Amino acid sequence: MSPTPLLRVENLRVHFPVQRSLFSKPEAWVRAVENVSFTLRTGETIGLLGESGCGKTTLGRAILRLGPVTAGSIHFDGTDITHLEGRALREHRRRFQMIFQDPFSSLNPRFTAGQIVGEALEIHHLVKDSAARDRRISELLESVGLDPRLADRFPHEFSGGQRQRIGIARALAVEPQLIVCDEPVSALDVSVQAQVVNLLQDLQKQRGLAYLFISHDLAVVEHLAHRILVMYLGQVMEEAPAGGLSQQPLHPYSQALISAVPTVDTASKRRRIVLSGDPPSPLSPPTGCPFHPRCPVAQPRCRTETPMLRDLGEGRRVACHLV
């Protein structure tokens, strides 16, 4: 992995307006992502972990400029892409791609597998003629474990795992440096999940790819990621090396997440932490620590003071007054 960050995100915020109509003033704001900062190096995988609605996908889409950015900055390979538009943004689009969660709805049902993979080649003028295009499509399908002779088939003729491989081949077509994987295996059978995860690891080793891997499955994230960010209500609660999070979670929310992971070890003394209530609404987040209404060890200070994400050394950062 390169010591120089490929991606640097600083104090990123994504707020969505709540309006009665398109032309009315916002009545409130949904704070989907709030003050998120991290770096990602070439050849590294960062896992984004958290329950549904915590802002993982919104963060990933904002980084790729597929969604709005309210404040903060996104630097890709030394270039600030936060406010790029038009041709300037299109030139950078080749360098970062996305693999979507649903391997069926993310593919055009009217296109064949070859057309889906080859579309980006034509848009970015990466091939000279149709013969070169066909050769490149065959290479890409082979690289993800698909028979090139299947290029003329439509998405509905493939299994879920095969469709996701087509999505991966499409992302690889423009030779990106960063791929945001938005829960790419959550819709697949367990056995197929392992195959796709192993494929992603092999492609990373071969091509030096960086991954931002979004998931709510700790086992998958730990297997693939080098570092893990735990998100809650749009904020990063904890950052830790992949193995260190499950062995010693420091933030009370991380501890609750780890305790909920099923285990077949009957000798395990892990105590299940049941959180009370529901996550607060991002329309009106609580003051102080966003987790304090559900935290079993919250103190008066947690209700009034927002904890900073403090560096504890050895790759660990925690946003908690009590750690």
pLDDT at 270 over 80: no
Residue 269: Cβ-neighbour burial (10 angstroms; 0-12, 13-18, 19+): exposed
Is 316 a residue whose pLDDT tops 90?
yes
Are 119 and 77 found together in one domain? Answer: no
The CA distance from 272 to 255, in Å, is: 9
Could you give the strand order of the β-sheet that contains 210-215, starting from the edge strand earlier in sequence? 96-99, 178-182, 210-215, 45-49, 227-232, 235-241, 316-318, 310-313
User: Are residue 30 and residue 156 in the same domain, yes or no?
Assistant: no
- C-alpha Rg value of the chain to the nearest Å: 21
Flag whether 89 is in a domain: yes
Q: Hey, is 255 helix, strand or coil? A: helix
Q: Which of 175, 192, 214 is the last residue of a domain?
A: 175
Which pLDDT band holds residue 172 (cuts at 50, 70, 90)? very high
* Cβ neighbour number for residue 19 with a 10 Å cutoff: 12
Please name the residues in contact with 166: beta carbons below 8 A apart, sequence gap of 6 or more: 103, 107, 113, 116, 117, 141, 144, 146, 155, 158
Is position 118 within any domain? Answer: yes
pLDDT of residue 310: 93
**What pLDDT does 264 receive?**
60
Residues 140, 192 within the same domain: no
The overall average pLDDT reported for the chain is 91
- Segment holding 211, helix H or strand E: strand 210-215
Taking the C-alpha atoms of residue 263 and residue 270, their distance in angstroms, rounded to an integer, is: 9
> Given 140, 175, 210, which residue is the final one in a domain?
175
Q: Are residues 62 and 88 in the same domain?
A: yes
pLDDT band at 277 (very low <50, low <70, confident <90, very high): confident
Query: In terms of domains, do 142 and 168 share one?
Result: yes
Residues 35 and 146 in one domain: no
Residue 267: pLDDT over 60: no
Q: Is residue 221 part of a domain?
A: yes
Whole-angstrom CA distances from 85 to 6, 93, 125 are 20, 11, 20
**299-302 contact pairs (CB < 8 A, 24+):** none
What is residue 68's DSSP assignment?
A: -
- CA proximity to 78, closest of 106, 39, 49: 39
Looking at the fold, whether 141 and 264 belong to one and the same domain comes out as: no
Same domain for 201 and 67: yes
Residue 100 falls within a domain, yes or no? no
Task: State how many domains the chain has.
Answer: 2
Amino acid at 14: V
Whether 221 and 205 share a structural domain: yes
> Please, are residues 98 and 66 in contact by the beta-carbon 8 Å criterion?
yes
C-alpha–C-alpha distance, residues 81 and 76, integer Å = 7
What CATH code is carried by the domain that includes residue 59? Answer: 3.40.50.300
Query: What local confidence, expressed as pLDDT, does residue 23 receive?
Result: 84
Integer CA distances (angstroms), 246 to 20, 195, 203, 230, 258, in order: 44, 23, 26, 12, 6
Which pLDDT score, from 0 to 100, does residue 224 have? 92
Residues 2-40: tens digit of each pLDDT: 567 999 999 999 999 998 888 888 888 999 999 999 999
- Residue 60's nearest CA partner among 6, 12, 94 is 12
Question: Does a structural domain hold residue 122?
Answer: yes
Query: Is 299 part of any domain?
Result: yes
Amino acid at 19: Q
Residue 271: the pLDDT is 78
Domain end (from 175, 190, 206): 175
Same domain, 195 and 124: no
Could you tell me if residue 78 is inside a domain?
yes
User: What is the pLDDT at residue 138?
Assistant: 96
Let me know if residue 323 belongs to a domain: no
Same domain, 197 and 271: yes
Average pLDDT over residues 286-314: 92
pLDDT value, residue 47: 95
Give the chain's end-to-end CA distance (angstroms, integer).
30
- Note whether 39 and 116 are same-domain residues: no
Using the structure block, give the residue that is written with the tokens 């660990």: 316
User: Where in the sequence is the domain holding 120, given as residue range(s)?
Assistant: 106-175
